[in-house]
Structure formats: structure tokens, C-alpha cells
Structure 1
């Protein structure tokens, strides 16, 4: 199976896109891609999910100027798209970034992109060929995290225990940051991999306040026991700055996972 690259170009520049596509094809790789859209209301960031989950796609390449990589709306969409791709292809799926003007430190990106590699465009072809044809590195995650972008139902997040583990209850909180409309509107529990049509919630809770790293989170929770085949689903509104989630705490001890979204 011939390998291909999916490219996201953060600014609409036809010449930039044409040159990049030509570079990729010279190395015998297939190529597909798009110009990035910051239309968060229509969740257009989710458009490439169907393409990038195809097994022949071996690398996601993101190219743009430093200002685009620093734009909160762009970062929010890129982070969610990365989470969706990692849920389908694994956390070791290769993500490469090209910054057109200045230095880009992956540690400053949303959590889901911090494993990305910043590359020099002058050496791009050989790097892509090598990455695309290598088996995807298996990276074990301590949790499951996926999402569903449904125009009629909104954005739903799915969290649950990693394979071989279970949670005695689940909690998810959001930090609104600079978006006063960010929050939680609904939640449910059901089989992993699909939004539940009906569910029974054990001791559902709303409005729980937590603090981590100087950020305040407002969370919802349930005490349903979750196996690796069951998940907690939460509908999120707006564009939260960060998420906090994990097993519902037993006593004062709590171990949560935090994802920076912007």
C-alpha cells in the first residue's frame, strides 16, 4: 500500500500549497490536504478526520506562520483534531510542523500536539518518506479520550480507563479561560465508541469546583463503574481553555489528567 501525507496549511496561500504538494510527490508519496478553517461554530476543524483515519495516511504535516500557531482559535481546532486522530491511529501517529517565520516550541502547543516534531522545510522530503514508511510507534496511554463533532448535537467528549483498568466513577471539568460561554451541558455513560441513546447515571453531580496549576475547573461527575469497554460522555459548549478528567476521587486522593486546549 502506497503511503500518503495529509497536509494542513494554516493560511490560504495557493502557491505555498502547490510547492509543498510537489515536494511530497517527488518522494513517491501520495498527498492530500486542505487550507485550515477557524470556523469553530461549524466545527470545520473536524473535516479531515475521515481522511486521516485511513491506514495509508502515514504523517500529518502542519505548515504555517508563527502567528497562526499562536492563534487561540487555530490552536483549539488543531488540538481537538489531533486528539481525534490519536484516538483512531494511536498516540504515536507522526505529526510534523513547519513554522514559516521564527522558532516553534512544541511544548507551547496544546497538549495533544506536544509530541509533534518541528522540521526544516529544506530537509522535508527525506523526513516525510522515512516517517511515512515506518510502523507507527505504539505509545500506551493512561486513559481513553475521544470526541464527536456533531452539528446537530454539539461537541461531545468521551473519556474512560485505559485497557486493563477500571474507574469507580468519572469526572470531567472545564476551565473557561477567556471564553465565558465555555461549560458543560449534558453527560451520559455507555458502551465505548458510541454516544449512548439511553443511560442510567449513578449519583450524577454538577458544578464541582477544582483547581489545578492556578486554573479553576467546573466539573460534572457520576459514580457509575467503568470498565475499559465503557465511557463517560460529556457535552462541552464554547471553547474551554483546558480540561481536567479522570476517575471520581475516593477520599482526598485524586489523580486527574489535564489537557491544555489552547
Structure 2
């Protein structure tokens, strides 16, 4: 039996019970949680770990029109989506179920932009969830690795690295109010390193991209497909920027928007 993990953004027991009852009639097992809007405590990681442990086959977000507008909720969903794809693959099915018509623009945060939008008032949403749980779409080849590690005690860590080849160093930056990088490391991918040795580490670099100011740190350690760069970040950045280290001031960078 396929399992769907349900995240309800609003604590609406009758709605969750109704959706669960329909999906059970379609032969799906349902597990899930109510969203905890505490990104500073990495509350979303508790749900992620439970989803992975349950060996869920799809992630269904029950969207509330007011909750999805909150930057903190959008930020937490973005981090959970990125970490989920890192844990279960880029083709892991993510769906959203709306109890009202979603707005035309920016209904979901960018990292959930590929999630399927389903209307609860329609008749086809249960069948579409069944289809996604049974036959995930093919994932487009990733250009980089992105994961978010940590907990309330260790803090929030962004992990990045190349899928193939090697980077001759890393530049990593953040933008947003009251956000800062306060530690960086390089080590084997998949877990925070116990110790690290940094080459030509830099802090407090200022980078301007598209009218936005990013504060960046950098190292010149080579980072290959089996290694990662880790940055501990305080606060909830609106976006992160990263790229292989380069001497040129106009080197291309990847920017990932989180809200």
C-alpha cells in the first residue's frame, strides 16, 4: 500500500479527516502532521524525518490561503522541500491541495513551484494523488546539491556541492533582514563534519546581484562530488547565493529564493 504524507498548514481537523477518508477509499495510507511555524527551531525537520521514516511515496500539503502568505511558512516549506529532494531524490512527488482558488502569481515559494496544484472542489484530485504516488515523474538532472541540516541546538546549516566534477572553492552568501553566516566548513557530504581545515577562508564579502545585497563567506578548498561546503546561518534568509570560487568579479552564481 502506498503512503501519502499530509502536511496541514492550518490545524483543521475536519478537513484533514475528510481528505484522509477520501484517499483511504482510493487505497492510500495516510500519515502526517500539522505545520509548526517555527523555522528558527527547525521544526520542519521533525516532520521531514518522520516522512522519511514512514517511507512515504508522496508529500501532500493542505494549503490554507492565509498561512501560505506568511514568509516564515514559505521559508520552512522551502527548506523542507529542498531537504526532502536531497533525501529521496529530485523526482519525489510533491502536491498541494487548495480549498480556494490559488492566486495567479507566486502561489507557492519557488522551491515548490514544480509541485502540482490541486483544487479540493474538483473531482479529479484523489486520482491525481494516486497516480503521483505510484508513478513519480522523471527528475531533471540537477546542476548542484542542496540540503539543510541541523536542529535547534546545532543551528541551521546549508550544505551545497557539485553533482559531478569539482569546484575550486566555494562562495556562499545570504540576503534578508537579520540574517548572518556565522560558521563555515568543508567535509564529506551528507553529515556535518567533526572537524574541518579551511584554505584561504574569507568572511564578510559584499556581493550585489540584481539590486540585492548579499553578505558572503568563501573558502578555496576543492569541493568534489563526494564532499560538501557547509554554512551555518542565523535567521531566515530570503535567498542564498553560491558559486565556485573565482577571481573574476562577474563570475556566474546560482541564487535560490526561499520565500
Q: Tell me if the contact between 1:90 and 1:139 (Cα under 8 Å) persists in the aligned partners.
A: no
State the partner residue of 2:146: 145
Aligned to 2:231: 234
Match of 2:188 among 185, 188, 191: 191
- Corresponding residue of 2:175: 175
Kept in 1, the 8 Å contact 2:41–2:151? The answer is no
- Single out whichever of 122-131 and 54-63 deviates more from structure 2: 54-63
The farther-off stretch of 249-258 and 76-85 is: 249-258
User: 1:108/1:186 Cα in 2 relative to 1: closer, same or farther (>3 Å)?
Assistant: same
Deviation string 1:35-60 (CA, Å, 9 cap, x unpaired) is: 11102232211112123335842211
| Residue equivalent to 1:24 | 23
Within a 5 Å distance, the mapping from 1:120-131 to structure 2 comes to 120-121=119-120, 122=122, 123-131=124-132
Distance 2:104 2:222 in 1: 39
- Aligned partners of 1:12, 1:192: CA distance in 2, in Å? 36
Deviation at residue 111 of structure 1 after TM alignment: 2.4
Task: Give the TM-score normalised by structure 2.
Answer: 0.94
Q: CA offset at residue 124 of structure 1? A: 1.6
What's the counterpart of residue 166 of structure 1?
166
2:62 and 2:214 mapped to 1: Cα distance?
A: 32
SS at match of 2:18: helix
TM-score calculated relative to the size of structure 1: 0.93
Distance 1:56 1:194 in 2: 20
Structure-to-structure mapping, 1:1-262, within 5 angstroms: 2-54=1-53, 56-105=55-104, 107-121=106-120, 122=122, 123-162=124-163, 164-176=164-176, 179-180=177-178, 182-262=179-259
SS of residue matched to 1:33: strand
CA distance in 2, matches of 1:186, 1:258: 20
The answer (yes or no) to whether the contact 1:3–1:29 under 8 Å persists in 2 is yes
The gaps in structure 2 that reach 5 residues or longer are none
